[in-house]
């Protein structure tokens, strides 16, 4: 006599239901919810190994990464050969330290720009998913880092902390589609919302249709009481202004300053000065937890 | 028990590689998805139940590690593992290129399914989803000749899953 030991259909139905429940819980949870705590635990487990691997394998990854960039390989090769010749004399470790020093100094200048108190960190891993733009940094609650703190680098705004365990934190990048940042145009002060569009960069949505936004305009963060981001941090430059659609605001494409694919030294804003009073009583545009 | 340990090991190693070495090695902006290759390999070797469990665990850990939304990859990999596991009876013993083609098709299906869910949740755009699918499939095809046989061998070395058990009498 034969007997079924597993019913594959029942197993898959249970697992699919479990996945749907997890998605629902994740979407509806408040800060510090069960899924977020699980994320912190996962980060704490993987963080140290990722850090070790990143240190050992970063040169390998960079080298192989160059191979992936197809097109113009011959001229690239000649240029790289010349560069290798030029760099060969320099001591490797010294150069790396000098580079880090430079990045940290520039990051500090960025922090000084908004009068923020920051904690430095290094990116040890980035999201392996094609749909999420996040990185893991080697600083956590022990260094005073908490959820919803802004993260910057030498170029400008990088993202915000979404999960922190004692030694590591996960940073959701501004280009992630779930990210929303209250912002304004440097010239004219038009307020709006910057949304992530993944590898397509960012979009800026002015709060009022017809507000003046031009090509090459600088987009800065808009600070407000209770908000995540300090005021006046550079986010990016307006690259394209879409045609106005009837009754709808225009779509403005913004090229972010911080290159999401080449993050290394960053700083987490642990304290920032109170934001200036917003014109017109201020507009709360933060997307909150999501 | 040994199989659970092998599954856990495959998940951890795949995720570590994806988030460190492979994160900077992009093909047209897309990253490879080792877990899809692993799910297909497990499904072809161990059947639908094991593959669904493996897919669910791998997806859940990946979601937790790579930030939100949690559960999407778990859902996609579970369904993928089950579907390939059920369909394997038509493919067992086939030529290598059939397995490769299956891995490529599974990668495309996984990215497009996850993209569909994320589009419904308003977290992605059609254009991005459409563009990323073939790129990830191509990238996975390049890695499959190494990853696929490795995972199959690791899983095959553990006790085989028996869907039917001889009870005697």
Q: Write the pLDDT tens digit of every residue in A60-119.
A: 666 666 665 555 667 777 788 777 777 776 666 676 777 778 777 777 777 777 778 888
Neighbour-count burial of B166, counting CB atoms closer than 10 A to its CB (0-12 exposed, 13-18 middle, 19+ buried): exposed
Q: How confident is the model at residue A247 (pLDDT cuts 50, 70, 90)?
A: low
Contact B167 A1 (CB under 8 A): yes
CB atoms within 10 A of CB A221: 26
Whether chain B has a CB inside 8 Å of the CB on A112: the answer is: no
Whether chain A has a CB inside 8 Å of the CB on B31: the answer is: yes
Contact B20 A54 (CB under 8 A): yes
The ipTM assigned to this model is: 0.82
pTM to 2 decimal places: 0.66
Contact A2 B164 (CB under 8 A): yes
Whether the per-residue pLDDT at A161 is higher than 50: the answer is yes
Measured CA to CA, the distance from residue A2 to residue B163 in angstroms comes to 10
Whether chain A has a CB inside 8 Å of the CB on B162: the answer is: yes
Residue B14 in 3-state DSSP?
helix
- Which of A:201-260 have CB within 8 Å of B? none
Contact B20 A53 (CB under 8 A): yes
- Which of B:64-93 have CB within 8 Å of A? 64-75, 78-79, 82, 85-86
Highest mean pLDDT among A60-74, A160-174, B92-106: A160-174
Whether the per-residue pLDDT at A279 is higher than 60: the answer is no
- Which of A:261-280 have CB within 8 Å of B? 261
Among A31, A54, A55, A132, the strongest candidate for a mutation testing the B interface, having the largest count of B CBs within 10 A, is A132
Which position has the token pair 């000649």?
Answer: A78
The per-residue b/e assignment along B32-52, b for 16 or more CB within 10 angstroms, e otherwise, is bbbbbbbbbbbbbbbbbbbbb
Contact call for residues A106 and A169 (beta carbons, < 8 A): no
Question: For A176-223, what is each residue's pLDDT tens digit?
Answer: 988 889 998 988 888 899 999 888 889 998 888 777 888 888 999 988
The better pLDDT of the pair A110, B3 is held by B3
Contacts of A57 in chain B (CB under 8 A): 20-21
Among B26, B67, B114, the strongest candidate for a mutation testing the A interface, having the largest count of A CBs within 10 A, is B67
Whether the per-residue pLDDT at A23 is higher than 70: the answer is yes
Segment holding A172, helix H or strand E: strand A169-173
- Which of B:35-64 have CB within 8 Å of A? 47-49, 52-53, 55-56, 59-64
What residue spans of chain A are helical by DSSP H? 8-28, 34-68, 73-88, 92-113
Nearest alpha-carbon partner for A135 in A161, A101, A117 = A161
pLDDT of A110 reads 76
pLDDT of B119 reads 85
Nearest to A177 among B22, B63, B124 (CB): B124
CB atoms within 10 A of CB A168: 27
pLDDT of A45 reads 85
pLDDT of A58 reads 67
Measured CA to CA, the distance from residue A182 to residue A229 in angstroms comes to 8
Which position has the token pair 């856990």?
Answer: B8
Question: For B26-68, what is each residue's pLDDT tens digit?
Answer: 777 788 899 999 999 999 988 899 999 999 999 999 988 886 6
Residue A182 in 3-state DSSP?
strand
Q: How confident is the model at residue A289 (pLDDT cuts 50, 70, 90)?
A: very low
Contact call for residues B39 and B144 (beta carbons, < 8 A): no
The better pLDDT of the pair B56, B158 is held by B56
Segment holding A241, helix H or strand E: strand A234-241
Whether chain A has a CB inside 8 Å of the CB on B166: the answer is: yes
Tell me how close the Cα of A3 comes to any Cα of chain B, in angstroms: 6
Across all residues in chain B, what is the average pLDDT? 85
Q: Which residues share a beta bridge with A151?
A: A159, A268
Q: Determine the average pLDDT of the residues in B77-88.
A: 92
Whether the per-residue pLDDT at B164 is higher than 60: the answer is no
Q: How confident is the model at residue B88 (pLDDT cuts 50, 70, 90)?
A: confident
Contact A129 B62 (CB under 8 A): yes
User: What count of CB pairs under 8 Å joins A to B?
Assistant: 191
Q: Determine the average pLDDT of the residues in A149-177.
A: 91
Instruction: Search chain B and give the residue with CA nearest A59.
Output: B21
Whether chain A has a CB inside 8 Å of the CB on B105: the answer is: no
Phi-psi region of B46 (alpha: psi -120 to 50; beta: other; left: phi over 0): alpha
């Amino acid at each position: 006599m034969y007997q079924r030991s597993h019913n594959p259909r029942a197993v898959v139905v249970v697992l699919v239901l479990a996945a749907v429940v997890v998605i629902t819980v994740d979407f509806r949870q408040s800060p510090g919810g069960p899924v977020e705590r699980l994320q912190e635990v996962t980060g704490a487990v993987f963080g140290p190994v990722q850090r070790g691997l990143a240190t050992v394998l970063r040169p390998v990854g960079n080298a192989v990464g160059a191979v992936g960039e197809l097109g113009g390989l011959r001229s690239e090769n000649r240029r790289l050969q010349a560069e290798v010749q030029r760099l060969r004399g320099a001591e490797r470790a010294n150069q790396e330290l000098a580079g880090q020093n430079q990045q940290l100094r520039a990051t500090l200048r960025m922090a000084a720009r908004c009068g923020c108190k920051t904690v430095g960190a290094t990116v040890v891993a980035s999201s392996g998913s094609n749909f999420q733009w996040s990185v893991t940094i080697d600083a956590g609650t022990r260094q005073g880092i908490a959820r919803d703190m802004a993260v910057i680098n030498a170029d400008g705004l990088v993202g915000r902390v979404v999960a922190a365990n004692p030694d590591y934190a996960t940073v959701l990048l501004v280009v992630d589609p779930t990210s929303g940042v209250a912002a304004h145009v440097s010239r004219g002060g038009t307020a709006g919302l910057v949304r992530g569009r993944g590898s397509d960069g960012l979009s800026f949505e002015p709060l009022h249709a017809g507000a003046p936004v031009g090509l090459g305009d600088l987009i800065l963060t808009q600070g407000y009481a209770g908000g995540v981001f300090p005021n006046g941090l550079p986010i990016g430059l307006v690259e394209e202004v879409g045609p106005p659609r009837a009754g709808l605001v225009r779509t403005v494409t913004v090229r972010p300053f911080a290159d999401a694919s080449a993050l290394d030294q960053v700083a987490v804003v642990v304290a920032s000065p109170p934001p200036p009073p917003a014109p017109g009583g201020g507009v709360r545009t933060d997307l909150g937890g999501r | 028990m040994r199989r659970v340990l092998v599954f856990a090991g495959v998940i951890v190693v795949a995720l570590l590689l994806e988030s460190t070495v492979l994160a900077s090695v992009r093909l047209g902006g897309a990253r490879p998805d080792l877990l899809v290759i692993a799910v297909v390999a497990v499904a072809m070797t161990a059947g639908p139940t094991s593959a669904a469990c493996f897919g669910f665990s791998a997806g859940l850990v990946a979601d937790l590690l790579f930030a939100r939304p949690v559960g999407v990859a778990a859902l996609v990999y579970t369904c993928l593992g089950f579907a390939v596991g059920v369909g394997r009876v038509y493919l067992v013993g086939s030529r290598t290129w059939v397995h490769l083609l299956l891995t490529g098709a599974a990668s495309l299906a996984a990215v497009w399914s996850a993209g569909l869910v994320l589009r419904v949740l308003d977290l992605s755009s059609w254009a991005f989803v459409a563009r990323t699918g073939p790129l990830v499939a191509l990238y996975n095809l390049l890695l499959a000749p190494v990853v696929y046989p490795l995972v199959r061998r690791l899983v095959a070395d553990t006790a085989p899953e028996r869907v039917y058990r001889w009870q005697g009498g």
